[in-house]
Amino acid sequence: MRKIIYQVIKSALLAIQDENQGQLIQHVDLFNNQLIYADEEQPFYTPAVLIEFRDISWDILSHGRREALVTVNLHVVTDSRVGHWTDAVEVFDLLDRINAALHGLTYSDDAGNAMDALTCSQSSTDSDFDELQDNIETYTAHVTDTSALRRHTAPATPPAIEITPTVTQTPTPPDESPIIQD
């Protein structure tokens, strides 16, 4: 289910366009403390969004289905050096555009997997990095996961059963002739 959630969020983020109708978000990936170890990581373009899944406590339903309130942190990484933004708070416009793209986002498939409306529940800013700013936008959604659902399937070929009607007559025994009385 996490893969589905990741792909749904990533698709929505990459669909956000800049003022020239180009792709606004330049990089989407799973969060893995890339900012702490920035000098050891593969470089990426900004603005970037790193998706971090918080702990998930699943409620078990029947036949392999489960549901939970899933929380993800979106680390919206921007270059904070002079010249990348016209002013220090312009980055908040980017956060608003991300929220507009993700708020209310849903997903469902034929297998029964579903994500109800995604909503932003918390925002914070981490400025502990020299050239990068990390705005953490926390989103939650109720999800239903059917990856372990036991599916009953019909046999590929029905068994061949042939029914032949038969009629059975009981003959009258020869020693018992009908008695006719006058």
Q: Predicted confidence band at 165 (pLDDT cuts at 50, 70, 90)? A: confident
The pLDDT assigned to 6 comes to 98
Res 169: pLDDT? 64
pLDDT, one tens digit per residue, over 38-64 is: 667 678 899 999 999 999 999 999 989
Burial of 131 (0-12, 13-18, 19+ CB in 10 A): exposed
List domains and CATH numbers for the chain. Answer: 2-145 (3.30.2000.10)
26 vs 3: CA distance, rounded Å: 20
Determine the Cα–Cα distance for residues 23 and 26; give it in Å rounded to an integer: 7
Share of the chain above pLDDT 90, in %: 58
Query: Among residues 50, 47, 3, which one has the least CA distance to residue 23?
Result: 47
The pLDDT value given to residue 93: 92
Residue found under tokens 């403390």: 33
The residue to which tokens 């998930």 are assigned = 56
